[in-house]
């Protein structure tokens, strides 16, 4: 199936319009069905044996209401159910044919299955409408609560049983302690489900002196990027790691406004921040080069690259942890320490 161009997108009609459309569609369909059935009924002879079933009490009711009237209703009803059931059978055969012929065309399989199911469903409903009598019933509701007598009898049965048990208080205490102990035993099994939060949650990932490498392990140097370009980098020993991913951006050096203690962290305009959003953990992949802004695609948090990834809008509250950088003697870009904070979304004990 071809996709359409963006320009062709139609704005969705309001709910009211959709309802009206649906209603008129149904009306149209129903009037077509009625028309067809009326026309067909006129073609049939007066007496026919399409419907035959043994007499029951309900039959007598029906006969009392006017034999000629009801049999016409029967005829229309029979025609309708027969028609829709035939459609359903067609759908079913179509499905079997499509399936066994080895097609993988989901539309044919689904369409024929839908035809079968809807056909049989409509058949049953039409049967209820046309070929069953509608008798309303009025029934007395029994009150949900039991009678006082029954309640007392049940309470007595319980109390009598209780009184048969000797040393009840001891039993109660044993029950409570036993259940409590058993509960503790069961809950202990939960320990196997997860390790308790350990220092991995607090890790700052990078070690001083580690080289910044791309996804394929290529180290980067001061000539790798031009202002306005970015790369996704990792420490050498954690390539592809979720929490270690770092975004390396080169900006024009004179535009940077890092805090004083981080002045040496950006050689030649290279800055590196954790790529994991501090809001909900999505990789902050969108770099808007003109505004030097990192945008997280999940909830549209923005971080100012020039100001140590301070959050400037959207739901994030904490800046992206920054990675100190320096250029080593062999020209490669290296980390000057770990991130300023554990990467990723915040939690209770994060410092």
Q: Which parts of 169-208 interact with another protein (CB under 8 A)? A: 190, 193-197, 200-201
Helix 15-43 with 67-100: angle, nearest 10 deg: 110
257 binds another protein (CB under 8 A): no
**Closer residue to another protein, CB minimum distance, 35 or 201:** 201
Shortest approach of another protein to residue 298 CB, angstroms?
A: 6
Interface region with another protein, contact rule CB under 8 A, candidates 155-163, 204-212, 255-263, 279-287: 279-287
How far apart CA 293 and CA 287 sit, in angstroms, is 6
How far apart CA 294 and CA 275 sit, in angstroms, is 10
How far apart CA 169 and CA 167 sit, in angstroms, is 6
The residue within the footprint of another protein, chosen from 50, 297, 328, 331 (CB under 8 A), is 297
Backbone φ and ψ for 280, nearest 5 degrees, come out as -135, 15
66 binds another protein (CB under 8 A): no
**Residue pointed to by tokens 């992949």:** 285
**Closer residue to another protein, CB minimum distance, 139 or 160:** 139
Shortest approach of another protein to residue 169 CB, angstroms?
A: 32
Angle at 324 between CA 323 and CA 330, to 5 degrees: 115
351 binds another protein (CB under 8 A): yes
**Closer residue to another protein, CB minimum distance, 176 or 350:** 350
Shortest approach of another protein to residue 23 CB, angstroms?
A: 7
Angle at 120 between CA 86 and CA 55, to 5 degrees: 90
254 binds another protein (CB under 8 A): no
How many Cα atoms are found within 13 Å in the side-chain-facing hemisphere of 109? 8
How far apart CA 205 and CA 315 sit, in angstroms, is 25
Shortest approach of another protein to residue 156 CB, angstroms?
A: 19
How far apart CA 116 and CA 249 sit, in angstroms, is 59
132 binds another protein (CB under 8 A): yes
Total residues in contact with another protein, by rule CB under 8 A: 120
From residue 332, alpha-carbon distances to 44, 256, 269, 313, 340 in Å are 93, 21, 15, 34, 21
Residue 129: its H or E element: helix 106-130
| Beta carbons within 10 angstroms of residue 221's beta carbon | 16
How far apart CA 32 and CA 37 sit, in angstroms, is 9
Shortest approach of another protein to residue 176 CB, angstroms?
A: 26
Q: Which parts of 76-105 interact with another protein (CB under 8 A)? A: 99, 102, 104-105
How far apart CA 126 and CA 33 sit, in angstroms, is 12
Shortest approach of another protein to residue 181 CB, angstroms?
A: 22
164 binds another protein (CB under 8 A): no
306 binds another protein (CB under 8 A): no
The residue within the footprint of another protein, chosen from 215, 255, 257, 264 (CB under 8 A), is 215
The contacts of residue 345 (CB under 8 Å, 6+ apart) are 276, 277, 278, 279, 280, 281
337 binds another protein (CB under 8 A): no
The residue within the footprint of another protein, chosen from 274, 302, 322, 340 (CB under 8 A), is 302
Q: Which two tokens stand for residue 244?
A: 């270690």
**Closer residue to another protein, CB minimum distance, 177 or 291:** 291
73 binds another protein (CB under 8 A): no
How far apart CA 248 and CA 226 sit, in angstroms, is 11
Shortest approach of another protein to residue 172 CB, angstroms?
A: 27
The residue within the footprint of another protein, chosen from 75, 79, 116, 205 (CB under 8 A), is 116
The residue within the footprint of another protein, chosen from 62, 73, 204, 243 (CB under 8 A), is 243
Q: Which parts of 25-44 interact with another protein (CB under 8 A)? A: 26
**Closer residue to another protein, CB minimum distance, 231 or 335:** 231
229 binds another protein (CB under 8 A): yes
137 binds another protein (CB under 8 A): yes
């Amino acid at each position: 199936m071809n996709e359409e161009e963006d320009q062709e997108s139609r704005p969705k009609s309001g709910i009211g319009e959709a309802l009206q459309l649906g209603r008129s569609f149904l009306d149209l369909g129903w009037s077509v069905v009625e028309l067809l059935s009326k026309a067909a009924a006129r073609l049939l002879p007066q007496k026919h044996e399409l419907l035959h079933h043994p007499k029951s009490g309900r039959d007598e009711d029906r006969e009392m209401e006017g034999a000629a009237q009801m049999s016409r209703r029967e005829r229309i009803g029979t025609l309708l159910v027969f028609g829709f059931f035939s459609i359903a059978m067609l759908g079913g055969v179509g499905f079997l044919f499509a399936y066994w012929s080895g097609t993988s065309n989901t539309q044919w399989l689904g369409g024929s299955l839908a035809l079968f199911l809807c056909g049989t469903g409509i058949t049953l409903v039409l049967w209820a409408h046309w070929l069953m009598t509608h008798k309303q019933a009025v029934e007395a509701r029994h009150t949900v609560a039991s009678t006082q007598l029954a309640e007392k009898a049940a309470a007595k049965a319980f109390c009598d049983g209780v009184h048969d048990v000797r040393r009840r208080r001891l039993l109660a205490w044993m029950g409570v302690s036993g259940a409590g102990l058993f509960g503790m035993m069961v809950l202990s099994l939960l320990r196997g489900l997860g390790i308790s939060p350990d220092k991995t949650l607090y890790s700052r990932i990078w070690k001083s002196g580690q080289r910044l490498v791309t996804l394929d392990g290529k180290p980067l140097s001061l000539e790798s990027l031009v202002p306005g370009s970015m790369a996704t980098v990792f420490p050498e020993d954690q390539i592809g790691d979720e929490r270690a991913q770092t975004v390396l951006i080169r900006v024009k050096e004179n535009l940077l406004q890092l805090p004083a203690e981080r002045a040496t962290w950006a050689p030649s305009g290279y800055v590196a921040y954790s790529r994991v959003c501090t809001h909900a953990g999505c990789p902050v992949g969108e770099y808007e080069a003109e505004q030097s802004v990192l945008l997280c695609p999940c909830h549209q948090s923005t971080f100012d690259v020039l100001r140590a990834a301070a959050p400037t809008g959207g739901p994030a509250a904490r800046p992206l942890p920054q990675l100190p950088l320096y250029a080593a003697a062999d020209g490669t870009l290296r980390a000057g320490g770990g991130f300023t904070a554990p990467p990723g979304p915040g939690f209770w004990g994060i410092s």
